[in-house]
Amino acid sequence: MTVSRIPFADPLWLNRQSSPYYKESHRRLQREVREYVDNNITPFCEDWEKAGYIPAEAQNKHAELGYTAVASFPLASEYLGGQRLPGDINPREWDGFHDLIVIDELARCGYLGVVWGLGCGNSIGGPPVVQFGNEEQKCRFLPDMLQGKIRFCLGVTEPDAGSDVAGITTTAERKGNVYIVNGAKKWITNGLWADYCTAAVRTGDRPQDISALIIPLKVAGVTCRRLHNSGVHASGSTYIEFDQVEVPVGNLLGEENKGFHVIMNNFNHERLWLACTSLRMARVCAEDAYQHAIARETFGKKLIENQVIRSKFSSMARSLDSAYAWMEQLVYIHHDSKNSGSGAGMGGLFANLKVLAGRTLEMVNRESQQVMGGLGYSKNGRGSRIEQVSRDVRVMVVGGGSEEILSELAVNQEIKHMKKHSKL
């Protein structure tokens, strides 16, 4: 079934079959991704999350069907090498709403660790190569990455530096035709399995002297160890140490000491991706809670017949649909900005969207657990996905920028944008 018959389980464009943003290719894509997830991912999520990794055969199928290729946005269509895209979409037609559909539908499995394990590294480590790599770098890395032959991760966060990118201490000192890298990166998703890390490194003494470097991870001097977090076990959260690691100068993205823009530019899509995933995870919680509410009887009537329970679902729906509508508008503006320039200064908007989506997920998960009662606290049974989300949710409000940092960024950037464009 390509559309759920459970209230609030799908966004309005899908369950009402009407929207100015989506055309036939989007609907065809949605049908294919949903069938793929229902048959090849959801039935195995619990086992994969417990095991802490995605089996190689599942990863290979994911790549074969084109999901690895489209994980990195914007799509590097010139380097696909004949790779099929999901839904058989023409690469020249792939847009922000195709991207949104894939993110949304993959998250329907309800296990964030599995979603991230399947492609988070390429989703955030690949775009800097697509957007800032030179032709030699693109030809060297992108064909194999898009076909799933190599994997990337993103290395920004350090033991003592998170949202403050200017505070990173991992160094890259140039000696001849190589950089010597020393330092550490922490909470690096997919780092255990990645072949390369798109990393922010310090190449000078000034705070702004940050460079973006593609560091090979299967070389001498690199040590990777798994980090054990509350959730997302299948994502391969990693602590990476660099000890006198030699990296070719040809792996520098852009110019030396000018990598800050490379790193910051990557955050807009990352935060959109996190927001979309949060909203779908919230729908998963609402869907499972609703199915329980129509089946569970208390005091002689169905749980859903209690006004206080229906009120909870009403609150969930308001938050979900309003946040999703805002997200669609931002995707449209971002897409339209390629021609009109209307997307300038969107960083604050994507930051605020990510904050809203994270808070929506927190609220919906909590209310769903209240509806489920003890079942929502159990790792097995009909409440297991809600329980899993309750452990995964914290990374969605901290990862990609904490809501405190992002809220400040959102206001500052909007003030800056309005001053620049105001006619007063």
- pLDDT for residue 38: 98
Find tokens 């697509």 and name the residue. 130
pLDDT tens for 259-289 read 999 998 999 999 999 999 999 999 999 999 9
* 224 and 84 assigned to the same domain: no
Residues spanned by the domain of 116: 12-146
- pLDDT for residue 417: 86
- pLDDT for residue 236: 98
Q: Tell the burial category of 421 from Cβ atoms under 10 Å away from its Cβ (0-12, 13-18, 19+).
A: exposed
H helix or E strand, kind and range, residue 33: helix 24-40
- pLDDT for residue 339: 47
* 87 and 191 assigned to the same domain: no
Closest alpha carbon to 59 in 155, 186, 154, 194 = 194
Token pair recorded at residue 243: 């000890």
Average pLDDT value for residue range 105-129: 98
Q: Is residue 6 part of a domain?
A: no
* 34 and 160 assigned to the same domain: no
Token pair recorded at residue 333: 């503006």
* 114 and 167 assigned to the same domain: no
Q: Is residue 25 part of a domain?
A: yes
Residues in the chain, overall count: 424
Q: Is residue 228 part of a domain?
A: yes
Q: Is residue 5 part of a domain?
A: no
Which residues contact residue 373 at a Cβ distance below 8 angstroms, ignoring those fewer than 6 apart? none
* 297 and 405 assigned to the same domain: yes
* 299 and 228 assigned to the same domain: no
What band does 336 get if pLDDT is binned at 50, 70 and 90? confident
Q: Tell the burial category of 374 from Cβ atoms under 10 Å away from its Cβ (0-12, 13-18, 19+).
A: exposed
Q: Tell the burial category of 40 from Cβ atoms under 10 Å away from its Cβ (0-12, 13-18, 19+).
A: middle
* 133 and 203 assigned to the same domain: no
- pLDDT for residue 338: 62
The Cα–Cα gap between 122 and 75 comes to 12
Token pair recorded at residue 211: 């460079």
Assign residue 253 the CATH number of its domain. Answer: 2.40.110.10
- Side-chain-side CA neighbours of 240 within 13 Å: the count stands at 35
H helix or E strand, kind and range, residue 104: helix 96-106
Q: Is residue 7 part of a domain?
A: no
* 100 and 178 assigned to the same domain: no
H helix or E strand, kind and range, residue 280: helix 267-295
Q: Is residue 3 part of a domain?
A: no
The total number of structural domains in the chain stands at 3
* 124 and 161 assigned to the same domain: no
User: Burial code of 329-368, b = ≥16 C-beta within 10 A, e = fewer?
Assistant: ebbbebeeeeeeeebeebbbbbbbbbbbbbbbbbbbbbbb
Q: Which of 15-19, 155-159, 320-324 has the lowest mean pLDDT?
A: 15-19
Residue 13 neighbours by CB distance under 10 Å: 20
Please determine, for residue 342, whether its predicted confidence score (pLDDT) is greater than 70: no
Average pLDDT value for residue range 11-22: 95
Token pair recorded at residue 350: 């994507």
- Helices and strands counted in the chain (H then E): 15, 10
pLDDT tens for 73-101 read 999 999 999 999 999 999 999 999 999 99
pLDDT tens for 168-177 read 999 999 999 9
Closest alpha carbon to 1 in 50, 42, 55, 54 = 42
* 37 and 78 assigned to the same domain: yes
* 253 and 273 assigned to the same domain: no
The Cα–Cα gap between 160 and 172 comes to 17
Whole-number mean pLDDT of the chain?
A: 95
The Cα–Cα gap between 158 and 191 comes to 13
* 23 and 156 assigned to the same domain: no
Average pLDDT value for residue range 372-386: 95
What band does 304 get if pLDDT is binned at 50, 70 and 90? very high
Q: Is residue 365 part of a domain?
A: yes
Residue 210 neighbours by CB distance under 10 Å: 28
Q: Tell the burial category of 237 from Cβ atoms under 10 Å away from its Cβ (0-12, 13-18, 19+).
A: buried
Please determine, for residue 39, whether its predicted confidence score (pLDDT) is greater than 50: yes
What band does 340 get if pLDDT is binned at 50, 70 and 90? very low
- pLDDT for residue 341: 46
Domain end point (choices 100, 123, 146): 146
